[in-house]
Structure 1
Amino acid sequence: MQRQTVPGVAREPAVAQAPELPYRELFLALAEELPDAIFTKDLQGRYTFINSAGARFIGLPAEKILGRKDSALMGPEEARNTQEFDRQTLLAGRILRAEMSEWMAGVRREWLSTKGVLRRPDGQVMGLFGISRDLSDHRRSEAARNQSEALFRTATQSSFDAFFILRSEPEGLRLLHVNPHAEALLGCEARAAEGRLLSEFPHAAFIAPLPLCQEVWRTGKPHDEELKQVLPGHGHRWFRRQLNAVGECMSVMVRDITEHRENELRLRLNERMAAVGMLAAGVAHEINNPLAFVLSNLHYIEKELHRLKLVQSDMGEMMEAITDAREGAERMRGIVQSLRALARGDAVTTQPLDLHEVLDNSVQLAWGRLRSRGHLVRDYSDLPLVLGNSVQLSQVFVNLLVNAAQAMPDSGGGEIRVVTRQHSASMVRVEVHDTGCGIPAENLERIFEPFFTTKPVGEGTGLGLSISHDLVRGLGGELSVSSTPGVGTTFRVLLPVASEAVDEAPTQEEVH
């Protein structure tokens, strides 16, 4: 049904008539519920109203506070500060705010105080009102957080591990905190790294791969593993990586365990070399006695053949066979002597040594690999005694000779040359040249790096040259390499001359 409008009669607006609210009762109810202190004072500073929270802070019932001044309710210093703030508020005629520290009811409290003037309807000032918020708990919590953060930063900065805190964002993982030991992995200072995305450091992406982080967030289980990584300028390194999810953040600890891994492998290798030494001593002992019989009998047969005065043609063939047999037996005796030299001696004791004797023993030990790969040339010069350890030097030279043989073509025809020269008054030089395949430039700088090898899996540990480098350096010498792909490689070993021979040794020109 449509409502009709009568012409000439004005239509009244439809305005809802709100009932008058009980403002005083509403104010009192709200004031009692609020945790802040709410009060009013007259111009003489006497309290005319205070809520329960305010009375609790002062430490008296509200009825004992009303009508009294601050000087009667708190200490002299707190009363003076409060009255001064009241005076400034009344003079300003507007709302003022300030942070204050006061002893209230035997407790030191931090306040955020807001005060303003009260006016009559005609505008005349009749007093002031105040709202005070207790910040003590907040300040204590803030101080505790600051202390915890300081302790956390101190702990992470003094840690020997690289430590990261990352946060997941739509753009990727953002670095929130980085300790000093993480700077080496990122390649920049912690200040410059914090706030940036991890994706801006592609070489360090292994720290926290996004799929791995998502898996840790999804399951809530910490992740702990060891991994091998190539770092620019540092080669292969071993790390232990631990990830823990903390809300939307991820804490990551990365520990470099390369040295630990190297020590483990060196220990295993030393144990294996000790076993080889014991085996070598046993083999040398078992072979030495029957070998002596063989040589003695060959000598006896040779004497008897001369005594029998056989036909010259028959005699020549038989003597040739005996000579070959004797040469083979002498070679076996040389091998036995090399094994015995390898098996005896203290691995950490140095003494004056005949370097050529050590080299000859090393050749005997490596001869099985050398004879089928190329022609061996020994280019020796007169040298003084060197200070070293026969077992360690044999290990070094056998490794260099075997590597030279492996670099030669399978068909043979190349040359391996062992050269000794006086390098200076206090050093001698040994060079092992080969005419093999050579070493590419990108591998040459890493050739002494632990675990680095270009051999197929199962054919090399990548520790031979690294250990040789450490052994030579431990003896006070140097081990270096130069190579040209397709032409060959030269390893140079510098060793110190034994002290008693330094004065006698003439300095020769360096042979290149």
Structure 2
Amino acid sequence: MARVRCLRPGEERVISKTNATALTATGGSAARRLGIPRAWRLRVGLILISLSIATLLVISFAPLGGIVIWLAILCTLCGIAAGYGLSTWRYQAGLRILNAGMIDAQDGNLKPVKIPKVRDPLLLRLYREYNKTITTLGGMFALVEECQNRVLTERNRMNVVVQVLPAALLGVDDNLCINTVNKQTETLFGKKERYLVGVSLFDVLSITDETREILRDAFLYKQDIRNQVINIHLNDAERWLSMNLSFVTQDEGEMAAVITLLDITEYKQLQESVYTREKLVAMGQLAAGVAHELNTPLGSILGYSQLLIDSCEDPQRARHFARTISEQTKRCSRIIHNLLNYARKEKCQGEFCDVNALVDEVVDTLISCRLKRYEISLERDLKDSPIVDGGCGELDIVLTNLLINAVQALKGVEKPMIRVSTGLNEGGFAYIIVEDNGPGIPGELRSRIFEPFFSTKDVGEGSGLGLSISHAMVSRRGGTLRYDSDYRDGARFVIRLPNATQATE
């Protein structure tokens, strides 16, 4: 298609040499060569036509010879032709100029024509309307061309942004078929664009049935997905991805949604290593307390076993000593069992945790030594016997971290006190509340206490990961861990977990 060349309003068009040559080849040039002025050509033509008509009338009624009649008829016809040519030459010349302009416009040259010196109002109107139309079209084409250039520039800019995204981007239609990918997608899946476009999303992603249902429900109900962590297998390796899905307005057959996949495998591995490190640090802090707790029942076992040996002659006393030995042995076993539970990595599916029993075990076996050392009183308000899903392997870590933080915050406080409350709220959720009468947390720091590596303790007393990890553990169970900003008598942390009492019935 020829490129359109536009003129500014008021610019006149110069007829090309070819079109000018075509104009000189017309019948009007003969009239010009005869020397007839332009103003008189129309008048002369009308006079010739009138004379020809008069001649016909004379021939019709006058008695003339045959040859004279034919000569008169011939002269009449020539007069009519000459008169018609002279009278219509002006219009023909004007129309030829307009026709030449239209031919140039078809070639992409949108230029107004030069208006000749004519007095005929019809021709003047045609010239002006044509030039006005050409000028308007020129402006419209210029605007369209400018808009096209802007669209292409914006499209190129957006394409650059999409290609440099750190996440893999996939555009899919309503049938979950891929129609758009970026460079990160090719890198993640190890395939070129031509092997990904047109393929079903489920054929590319080796995902679990649960993730498939999440995607199907999202497309069925047009619901966006935000930061959904999924697990897939790529090239015989396990990968963790953070998936986001957003729907877009689209025409039939075009992109319906955009999916981004961010590889967080290294982050997950780092997170697991941080969890392990925090557990080791916490277990190291508890080692002295566990040793003290074990020494107490072991001393009792040793003493009562010696008394049992010395009192063999009194069966009743022997049974009492034996019963005491058995109880202290069970206590040692319980301490070791709780320590092993503390070291467990994940919650166990199909297991349940008695929250009240968990509080008793953590306080009696892991925290009691610290409470005695710093002379801290601890109150328990345990009720409703809430049961939660997933075992106690992670909850005891969370509760221990909160209690250790409370103990450390009470150093130097007069009459230090910790209170642990449990129960069920009106929504059927189990809760654990740990509060102390210490100085609390300053208002400017409350928004950061759950950030990794943030700590208000002195160097060497904390890693800044305890609350962050505890928050993540509670969140994985579908619960929440928050700091109660309305509590004014110290610090209060509230754990909220889905109750599993009905599941146990």
Q: Which category of TM-score, normalised to the shorter sequence, fits these structures? A: 0.3 to 0.5
More strand by share: 1
> Is the radius of gyration larger for structure 1 or structure 2?
2
More helix by share: 2
TM-score, normalising length from structure 2? Answer: 0.44
Question: Higher relative CO (CA 8 A, sep ≥ 6), structure 1 or 2?
Answer: 2
